[in-house]
Every structure is written in C-alpha cells, then in structure tokens.
Structure 1
Amino acid sequence: MRLSAKFSGDPDAGSNARAAAEVVRKLRAAFQTGKSKPYEFRIRQLEGLLRFFDENVDILCAALWKDLHKPRQECIVTEIEIVKNEIRSALASLKKWMAPRPAEKSLAIMTDYPFIQHEPYGVALIIGAWNYPVNLLLSPLVGAISAGNCVLIKPSEVSENVERLLEQLLPQYLDKNCFEVVCAGPEDTSLLLKEQFDYIFFTGSTTVGKIVYEAAAKHLTPVTLEMGGKSPVYVDADADMALTAKRIMWGKTLNAGQTCIAPDYVLCTADTQRQLVEAMKKVSHDFSTDQQDSKDYCHIVSDRQFNRLKGLLKDQTIGFGGQTDAETRYIAPTVLTNVDPASDVMKAEIFGPILPIIPVADVDQAIRFVQQREKPLALYIFAKSKKVIEKILRGTTSGGACVNDTIMHVTVDSLPFGGVGPSGLGAYHGFSSFETFSHKRSILWKPHGLDFLYYSRYPPYSEGKTKGLIALLKYRRPLPSWLSTVFIFGLGGLVGYAARFLNNHFPIPAFLQQHAERLGFPSSR
C-alpha cells in the first residue's frame, strides 16, 4: 500500500490521512478478534517470513545492489541470514517465551501463584532504515510476530528498490489482515504518526527519532528508538596492529561505513597512530586494489549523502584514500590523521567510509574524551592488557561494546542490542525482541479458602494484627519454590488430621450420617 501522492497520483493530503487511519483501523480490528495471539498462528507467520527469504534471495540481492551497490556476500550475511537466524531462534523458543514465568514468593503469599504473562501490545508500527533496508525492518518484525502483535510495516523510501520489492512480496507470505506494508515519504509518515499505535519501533537518525518520540508521547505510546552516534575506538600501544587494522577497516568499510555501529573515530597515542595508519593502508590494499570498480565494496546511497561526506574531507590531513566519484557516488576508504576534535568531521556521526584519528596522551585522556561527549551506540577497545580493557569499560558508557573486534557483538542474539541516551532507547534481538513487543502482565492467582491465614488484614484492626502483618510482609530472601508445596501438603495433612480427630471425639449424629450416605458420601462408620 502506498500513501504518497508521488506514487498514487492523488494530490489530496486528506485522502492520504484517511488511508492511514483506515489501515490502522483494519489492523486494530484484526487484533481485537484475537487472531494474532495463538501460538499456532505466530508459528505460521514466522515460517512464512522464513519462506520469503528462502525463495527470494537473488531478487533481494539485486534490489540491494541497485540501491546501495551492496556486495552479494554482505547482502546474504548482513541482510538475510542474520534475520533468518532471528526467525530460527523464535521458532525454537517461542513456546518457552510464551509460557507464564513464575515470580518469587514471599511468606505472605506462600500458598498463592504469582507469575508474569507476556501479552502483545496490539497494533505496532515498525519504521525501517535505508542502510540495511531488509535487516532493520524485518528483524524487529520477528519480535513483533512472536509476541502476537498486528503490525504496520514501513520500509525506508530512500532504498526505493527494496521498498518496492517488500511492498510486492511480503503480503504473499504474511496474513493480510494482521500485517500491512505501507510505503510513504516523510510527509505521509507524519500522517501515520498522528494515528494511535500500541507500540512504535523506529530505526534511523537521532533527529527523526526525536520527532517519532514526540508523536508517540501524544498518545503515551511506548517506543524503541534505534539511532546511532559517534562510536569510538581506542587502540592501545600493546595491541596487535595488523589484526587491529584489519578488524577496524572491515568494520569501517562494511556497507561503505553506512552502519550505525561502524567505528566512527579512533583514539590512540601519536606513535600508535603512525603504526596503525601504515597497517590500515596495507589492509585496504589487501581488501581490493581497485575498490571503485570492485563488486566487494558498497557505494553511497544518494547524492545528498555523497556531497555531505565529501565536504567532511575539506581541510583535513589524509593518511590515505580520499578519492571520490560523484557519478557512481564512490568514496574510497579514507583515514584522516591528527584530526582537530572541533572540526566538522567530529560534530556528528559520519555514516560513511571516513575514519578520523585523534591522538591522545594516554588511556585516561581517551576515557575523558569519550565521557565529555554523548553516549555512543557502540564502543570498541583494542588492547591486550585486561587492566586497560576493564578501566575503559568502567570509565565509559555505551549501548554495547566489543573488545578486540568491531561490529560482531550485534550478531549475538542472546545479547540485547540498543543504545543509551541520544544513541537509542530500548533493545532487541532474540528473546529481547519478544520482550520489547510484549507487555509484562503481573498476575497473582490466589486459591479459594484458607482465608484464616489472612485474618490480620481485615477490620477491626489491632496492634497484634499490625505486628502480624509486618512480620508477614517484611522482606526476606525469596522462599524456595519447593517450600510452598511442602507447606500446602503439610496444611492439607493437618486439616485431614483435625477432621479425623473431631470425627472420632465428636461423632456426627446418626441422622446426618444417613443423609450423607444417601447423597453418595462415604460412611465414616
């Protein structure tokens, strides 16, 4: 479905607003039937999404090549397989994820059953990003499906070939009542944000993330904001320079640096800078002798982004690289040396294949440098010294961190992925995705009877009752789960013993016993 008048030919913004309202209404009506909640339905949708990938690998790679000149290996590994692994994990674990989770008991509720039930929020909006237009849209969708939501799926309009493909193909694999792909530009996305959703998941820039957050606040809608920031790299003097250079350059040139967790700048001593630049120059040559025509190197997504990145090279000292071509939107992997922290290249996330190096005196100055700036989405440390690594981890904050590598922490689905502060809000991947799209409903299930155990809470109040309640409610170490079972069995045995004692010493009158036997109760004689 396309909202934009650019595609629909309808110049009436009011009709687009009505279309946005209608698609949300349709999804809400489907959710209210309960269709998306059963385990079997969720499994079918996940299997359908897995089939979408299995049957369309070549078409997806072709669309990604047109939009980003993205190499086939990067398409398969960073766009397709990473999402397929999310699906496989959900298929294997969904029954366990959906099961009620027992909560710890206190003395006051020893005979009760406290538990947490994960419930779907309802109608979710997922807004994808252009740099990984498949992964960053469909990976959160796995969590939304697993949690039982209905979803409005909004691909990025910048990666237009992937957007068109998803609009055409996804409805063939997912339930059409519970899932809707909507194509819209910035203006029409604003119309969507005026609608009331039950959850919004956004991936993109901090600037747009603030707009999404403001729109969500009007309806008190919970959000996940996956944004970015300037992810620093610290290289210690004792690091293996050849290995460090290879892993930094791989992280920086992956998708031509158009990755939210790409290394954004390097902090190291002046002597380390000299060694590192030489090692990175060799690595860049090893990756490709002619990257402009290489099928293994991405290009910049748009003229606007190309011109912005080219402008960042002005008045900088280029260690190597720096070549550009406007026609193909090519920018060579470029390392800048002795960069002034106040220069333009350090004012915002670079989001391209340009890597500034800022010399620092020591690790302490590097920590202060990171502390004085906004909290990044990722932080990278290359060092052999455990003392140095732990010092940096203790002295800084970031969404995630990776030691002696770049990017790879995002591939571990047991690690929640997300930012902190300006770099993001919330996290996902694996079970964290399921939790993100689930409301954790707290439930206390009390059995009938046994009310004599709680007599102290009822009026008339007394000092003795108050002391009794304080004793019951006072925090103690959580009771072992087996203890309540023992208590209930013990209580049952005590009640049975008391009943037998009373029957033996205070026999039931004969006429009542005869009446009970006529009703089918066993004789006590």
Structure 2
Amino acid sequence: MGSQPEGKAVFDSESAKEMVKELRASFVAGKTKSYEWRVSQLIAMLKMLEENEQPIVSALRDDLSKPELESSIYEIGMLRNSCRLALKEMKHWMKPEKAKTSLTTFPSSAEILSEPLGVVLVISAWNYPFLLSLDPIVGAIAAGNAIVLKPSEIAPASSSLLAKLVADYMDDSCIKVVEGAVPETSALLEQKWDKIFYTGNGRIARIVMAAAAKHLTPVVLELGGKSPVIVDSDIDLKVATRRIIAGKWACNNGQACISPDYIITTKDNSMKLVDSFKCELEQFYGKNPLDSKDLSCIVNSNHFDRLLKLLDEDKVSSKIVHGGERDETNLKIAPTILLDVPKNSLIMKEEIFGPLLPIIVVDKVEESFDVIKSCGGKPLAAYLFTNNKKLTGKFVAEVSAGGLVVNDTAVHLAEHNLPFGGVGDSGMGSYHGKFSFDAFSHKKAVLYRGLGGDASLRYPPYTRGKLRLLQALLSGSILRIIRALLGW
C-alpha cells in the first residue's frame, strides 16, 4: 500500500518537514497575503478547470465510472462557482469589520481583522476527488494561506491528475500536492500545521485529531453519518421519490457523505413509496441498471465486499423489495430498496455509503424522531418530505444534524450562503462561500485608544469610590455610573 514506484523519491517525515519549512518561508515573506496573489491563484484554478474538463471527466470515469453529467456539474461546475464567488466577494471578506465598543474602554474604537492562519493541510476524500480537494483550497487561498493537499490514493487517476494540474497551474512555492497512502499521510501528520482540514470517515478523523492535538493544531472534520429521510403521507410521491433518487443514486451511486442513508415512513405509506421507487428507478436506469452508463461503480473491491456483507446478512437479505443485483467484475450494485429492516441489523449500525436504501416503518410519522435518535449520533444531513407545517417545525426544532432540507435532498450543498459541515460524530467546523474564508482565517481583535484623557480610576491606590465607579462602568448602566460619581 505504501510502496513507492521505481524511480520515485521516498516521501518521509524529513521530506514533509522540508516542504513545510519551504512553505512557511513563503508565507512569512508575505507572498500569499496580498490580494493580488490570491486573485491570481483563483484565476489560475479557473483556467485549470476550463482547460482540463475532459481529462478530469476521464479520470473520474477511470476511478468511479462517474457519468459525465455528474462530473461536469457536481465537481467541475461547483468548483467554478466557488472560484467565481471568491473572486467577486474576496475584497469585501478581507476588509476589517467595525466593532462596537463599550463604556469600559471609552473613548475607543475597534475592528476585527481576518488574517491568514499560515500553512494548512487539506486531506481529501475519494468519492468527489476534485470537489473535495479543491473547494477547501479555494477558501484557503482566499484567506491567504500556503497549502499542502493530500488527495486520496483510493482514486488514483484523480490523484495523479490533481498533482500534475496543480503543479502546472498554481504557485508551486505556496501550494503543493503530496500523493501517496498511509506512510505519506503519517509523515504529513507529524508536522506542525496552522490548520488541518480533513474529509473522510470517523476512524481516520480520530487519528488526524490525535496528531493535531500534539501541536495544538485546530481542525475542520467533514465526516458523514446515517442521514435519514422522513417521508410523510399525503404528498406528491413521484416528486419525493425522484428527489430522493437524485440525492442517492444520482450522487455517485450513494457514495456521498450527504446521501440519504435510510427512509422512515408509515406502514400505510410504505408500499406506495416502494412502488413509486420501482417506477422511477426503471425510468432513470432501465430494466437492467447494471448496464446503465448513468450509474457509478463502487470504488474498489473492499467497499464492494463491505456493501455485500450488509446486504447479505441473514435478517436483511429477505427484506429486498427491489434491486439487489450485483456485478463483481465491474464493481456495480444495482439501486436496492429494502423494506422493514431490523433496527439491530448491520445495515442500520453504520453509514451505508453505497446504493442500498433501507426503509424503516412506523405507525405514526411523529415516531420518526425517536428512530433518528435511536440510530445514535448526529448525521451530516437530514431530510423531510411533508406538507405539514407543524411536522416541519418539529423536525427543525428536534433533529440535530449538520444541515436540514425540507422536500428535497442534497441541494443545500450548492447553496454558498449556508455553512456546510457536521456536528458531533458527523464532524466539526464548516465551509462553503464566506464560511470557507472564515475556516482558514483568524479573527484578530484590534482596539484603538488615544493617550489623552488618562483617568486615575484603574490605578492604585484603590479606594471604595474607585471600586463603585468601576463596577458601575462594567455594568454599563448610566444610572449606576451617575450614582457612583455622586457618591450615592
């Protein structure tokens, strides 16, 4: 796994140390801090995406059999939007924010400056290898940082292309890519960073966080979890199922952190929902979905075997009501619906991250909230389909998740005015739009005072009168201040 190709230099802890030293020298010299440098790198990234769309689409096809539409829109298109937004808004983001001051420091003025953190590490995931690698980097560049990207070795064609393109288009003295597997990642994690941004699973996130703790390095962890979908009755089932399909199978065949993981609906509604899924899935992927070119493959044999283990468990395999076909040669599993799976089955104990979709049935839709809580943790996303405003209010108030969507799935990912990130087991920190800029910035507080009008109030010798006046000033009450000044 960690072996080096013949003729390729070994990347070890010493190599990582030298790389960080070089990047820190560029940062200390102020190269990344200027507005002009930030603009030049974002324009370079845009040019890189525009001139290499077909090689990127080909790499994603090699790694994941990803359809061209998904590659072009969900990876390249969203990255272009991120770059354009940053170019449009970055000057405004960089401006100091005026802050109010209180009587305690009167007379004074204050502001909050966004300053770059320094040298940051981005460790990305394999399922959206371009989007999840470069989208955080847009924020890191906009904030003025030097950057190391470690793409996932599980998507080797994408990793190799990322390394080549970044070296060709971006400033190599400030932005670098390190390919490799566990040894290279371990070497990077031994170094001191000013922030680590990791996208992946909880197991590796704990390793990243433990390494960061040794240097008191802050982290952003973008993880996942079992994202539920509550489907109420008395709704347009055709629209609901199509939108669930779009967020599940049309998002990398379920291999997405915000992919619907399981559905909760009432017994009375369950078979209507299953029938609607059967109809819409056949329209989208045909009678033989394994032959469809619009369905991604499973990324590798390990993940393929993991999904079959979930599907072939004795108490689960009998619950398949649609799909279940598999093609081991091409690593494909058809869209699969399972009805009324046991809550103690393996498929309900871990994030599925694939084309399997269990349906849990309840007597009343309000019982869905207890089911979500019983699954443990706080998911990255939660979805509700309903026309009931009272149920919507209860959903928003009671379900804790990274993000909520009512009457759709996954679309909040594309809204740059909303923070994207997890809570609890699904991660910490957020990004997208200005939230990406903030994730890689330090908010520095600055207070300005003059040297005139110095009062003796804060200096010894301390008296009861000084104490009363200082207490009044800290309270912010004009009446108390007047009373203290009058000696009352």
Q: Shorter chain as normaliser: what TM range?
A: over 0.9
Structure-2 separation of matches of 1:418 and 1:321: 32
Deviation of 1:361 after TM superposition, in Å, equals 1.8
Which residue number corresponds to residue 367 of structure 2? 365
Structure-2 separation of matches of 1:429 and 1:133: 16
Residue by residue, what CA displacement relative to the aligned partner does 1:140-196 show, whole Å, maximum 9, x if unpaired? 000000111000011111100011111111112111110111102012211110111
Deviation of 1:265 after TM superposition, in Å, equals 0.3
Which residue number corresponds to residue 457 of structure 1? 458
Aligned equivalent of 1:194, options 180, 183, 190? 190
Deviation of 1:11 after TM superposition, in Å, equals 9.3
Residue by residue, what CA displacement relative to the aligned partner does 1:55-98 show, whole Å, maximum 9, x if unpaired? 11011001100100001110011111111111111111111111
Deviation of 1:476 after TM superposition, in Å, equals 6.2
Which residue number corresponds to residue 275 of structure 2? 278
What is the identity, as a one-letter code, of the residue corresponding to 1:463? Answer: R
What is the identity, as a one-letter code, of the residue corresponding to 2:298? Answer: I
In the alignment, structure 1 segments of 5+ residues that lack a partner are 478-525
8 Å Cα contact 2:143-2:441 kept in structure 1: yes
| Aligned positions of 1:74-113 closer than 5 A | 74-113=70-109
Which residue number corresponds to residue 297 of structure 2? 299
Which residue number corresponds to residue 264 of structure 1? 261
Residue by residue, what CA displacement relative to the aligned partner does 1:13-45 show, whole Å, maximum 9, x if unpaired? xx6221111111111111111110011111111
**Structure 2 residue 136 is matched with structure 1 residue 134:** no
What is the identity, as a one-letter code, of the residue corresponding to 1:269? Answer: T
What is the identity, as a one-letter code, of the residue corresponding to 2:323? Answer: G
Structure-2 separation of matches of 1:363 and 1:450: 66
8 Å Cα contact 1:127-1:156 kept in structure 2: yes
Q: Secondary structure at the match of 2:445?
A: strand
What is the identity, as a one-letter code, of the residue corresponding to 2:428? Answer: L
Residue by residue, what CA displacement relative to the aligned partner does 1:314-367 show, whole Å, maximum 9, x if unpaired? 132111111100011111000001110111111100000100001112233211
8 Å Cα contact 1:4-1:16 kept in structure 2: no
**Structure 2 residue 393 is matched with structure 1 residue 390:** yes
Which residue number corresponds to residue 341 of structure 2? 339
Moved over 6 A (4+): none
What is the identity, as a one-letter code, of the residue corresponding to 2:85? Answer: S
8 Å Cα contact 2:178-2:184 kept in structure 1: no
Deviation of 1:110 after TM superposition, in Å, equals 3.8
Deviation of 1:4 after TM superposition, in Å, equals 5.3
Structure-1 separation of matches of 2:184 and 2:476: 53
8 Å Cα contact 1:98-1:118 kept in structure 2: yes
Deviation of 1:275 after TM superposition, in Å, equals 0.7
Which residue number corresponds to residue 435 of structure 1? 438
Which residue number corresponds to residue 117 of structure 1? 113
Deviation of 1:448 after TM superposition, in Å, equals 2.9
Deviation of 1:288 after TM superposition, in Å, equals 2.0
**Structure 2 residue 468 is matched with structure 1 residue 467:** yes
Structure-2 separation of matches of 1:47 and 1:8: 35
What is the identity, as a one-letter code, of the residue corresponding to 1:367? Answer: F
Q: Secondary structure at the match of 2:235?
A: coil
Which residue number corresponds to residue 229 of structure 1? 225
Structure-2 separation of matches of 1:29 and 1:413: 33
Residue by residue, what CA displacement relative to the aligned partner does 1:432-477 show, whole Å, maximum 9, x if unpaired? 00000001111111123122xx331122222222222222221469
Residue by residue, what CA displacement relative to the aligned partner does 1:180-225 show, whole Å, maximum 9, x if unpaired? 1110201221111011111000000111111101110111100000
| Aligned positions of 1:288-327 closer than 5 A | 288-289=285-286, 290-314=288-312, 315=314, 316=317, 317-327=319-329
Deviation of 1:241 after TM superposition, in Å, equals 1.0
8 Å Cα contact 1:267-1:366 kept in structure 2: yes
Structure-2 separation of matches of 1:54 and 1:307: 37
8 Å Cα contact 1:193-1:216 kept in structure 2: yes
Structure-1 separation of matches of 2:304 and 2:222: 23
Residue by residue, what CA displacement relative to the aligned partner does 1:374-414 show, whole Å, maximum 9, x if unpaired? 11010000000010111122122001010000000111001
8 Å Cα contact 1:227-1:260 kept in structure 2: yes
In the alignment, structure 2 segments of 5+ residues that lack a partner are 479-488
Q: Secondary structure at the match of 1:6?
A: coil
| Aligned positions of 1:243-258 closer than 5 A | 243-253=239-249, 254-258=251-255
Deviation of 1:54 after TM superposition, in Å, equals 0.9
8 Å Cα contact 1:167-1:181 kept in structure 2: yes
Structure-2 separation of matches of 1:426 and 1:7: 36
Aligned equivalent of 2:358, options 353, 356, 359? 356
What is the identity, as a one-letter code, of the residue corresponding to 1:301? Answer: V
Which residue number corresponds to residue 210 of structure 2? 214
Larger radius of gyration: 1
8 Å Cα contact 1:106-1:476 kept in structure 2: no
Q: Secondary structure at the match of 2:72?
A: helix
Which residue number corresponds to residue 511 of structure 1? none
Q: Secondary structure at the match of 2:74?
A: helix
Structure-2 separation of matches of 1:149 and 1:11: 27
Aligned equivalent of 2:46, options 44, 50, 68? 50
8 Å Cα contact 2:247-2:259 kept in structure 1: yes
8 Å Cα contact 2:126-2:154 kept in structure 1: yes
Structure-2 separation of matches of 1:52 and 1:110: 51
Aligned equivalent of 1:379, options 377, 382, 400? 382
Structure-2 separation of matches of 1:141 and 1:67: 22
Taking structure 2 as the reference length, the TM-score comes to: 0.94
What is the identity, as a one-letter code, of the residue corresponding to 1:462? Answer: T
Structure-2 separation of matches of 1:135 and 1:213: 23
Q: Secondary structure at the match of 1:200?
A: strand
Taking structure 1 as the reference length, the TM-score comes to: 0.87
8 Å Cα contact 1:4-1:183 kept in structure 2: no
Give the percent of matched residue pairs that are identical in Structure 1 and Structure 2: 44
Q: Secondary structure at the match of 1:7?
A: coil
Deviation of 1:8 after TM superposition, in Å, equals 5.3
Aligned equivalent of 1:157, options 133, 139, 153? 153
Structure-2 separation of matches of 1:463 and 1:11: 72
Distance verdict in 2 for CA 1:5–1:11, change over 3 Å: farther
8 Å Cα contact 1:5-1:11 kept in structure 2: no
8 Å Cα contact 2:12-2:183 kept in structure 1: no
